[in-house]
Structure 1
Amino acid sequence: MSQLEGAMAAMIKVFHNYSGKEGDKYTLSNGELKDLIKNELGNFLGDPKDQAAVEKIMKMLDENKDGHVDFNEYVVLIAAITTACNEFFKDQKKK
């Protein structure tokens, strides 16, 4: 498996490690999203102790307004964070 294929497989696996603990196995509930952010994205997003911040992220991601984050909506989060990190490191490299 290539490095990129491994990254894609890891992204899929992480989603499914958290989805379904509180209901639908194909979506993330508010609590599941909070756990995923805390455990998997803590270095980039910090510890999501502020429930209001998690709810704000959830509302931004939940495009179809069903109260859950599906895989496609999750991919948007990962892409946005990846883009932001890339921009940060590009700016740091210029300095």
Structure 2
Amino acid sequence: MESAIKTIVTTFLSSAKGKEGLDSKTFQKMVKSKLSGIMEDTDSSSAIKEMQQNLDTDSDGKVDFQEYLSLIGYIANSMSQSKSEQTPNSS
């Protein structure tokens, strides 16, 4: 778990390259390169742009670390629900 958290943090920091947030181009590049294996529509620029706009709660045009964590939480929750739906109940 520790390495997963480190990966989440370092992925954001390396993508941001010292800036406080990911601009549109940087966010698209990060999603396409780092999340294409677990997310749908990562080949669609318009879908990624819509995702960025939904994450950008302060409407500054960038995805900051807290907003990025919302994306990670959404992905983790979706994966958890998917796994639990595949596992038969042991009643």
Q: What is the TM-score of this pair, normalised by structure 2? A: 0.88
- Displaced runs of 4 or more, over 6 A: none
The residue that corresponds to 1:16 in the other structure is 13
Following TM superposition, by how much is the alpha carbon of 1:47 offset from its aligned partner in structure 2, in angstroms?
A: 5.6
| Separation of aligned partners in 2, 1:32 and 1:93 | 37
- Unaligned runs of 5+ residues in structure 1 are none
Structure 2 partner of 1:48: 42
The CA distance in 1 between the partners of 2:36 and 2:43, in whole Å, is: 11
2:75 is aligned to 81
Name the structure with the higher helix share: 1
Aligned-residue sequence identity (percent) comes to 25
CA distance in 1, matches of 2:40, 2:78: 14
Cα distance in 1 for residues equivalent to 2:37 and 2:57: 26
Query: Distance between the aligned counterparts of 1:48 and 1:6, measured in 2?
Result: 24
> Matches of 1:29 and 1:19 in 2, distance apart?
8
Quote the residue 1:59 is aligned against: 53
TM-score of the superposed pair, with normalisation by structure 1: 0.84
- 1:18 touches 1:28 (CA, 8 Å); kept in 2? yes
Task: Give 1:58 deviation, angstroms.
Answer: 0.5
The match for 1:28 is: 22
Question: For the Cα contact (< 8 Å) 1:37–1:47, is it kept in 2?
Answer: no
Return the letter of the residue paired with 2:82.
Answer: F
Structure number with the bigger relative contact order (C-alpha 8 A, sep ≥ 6) is: 2
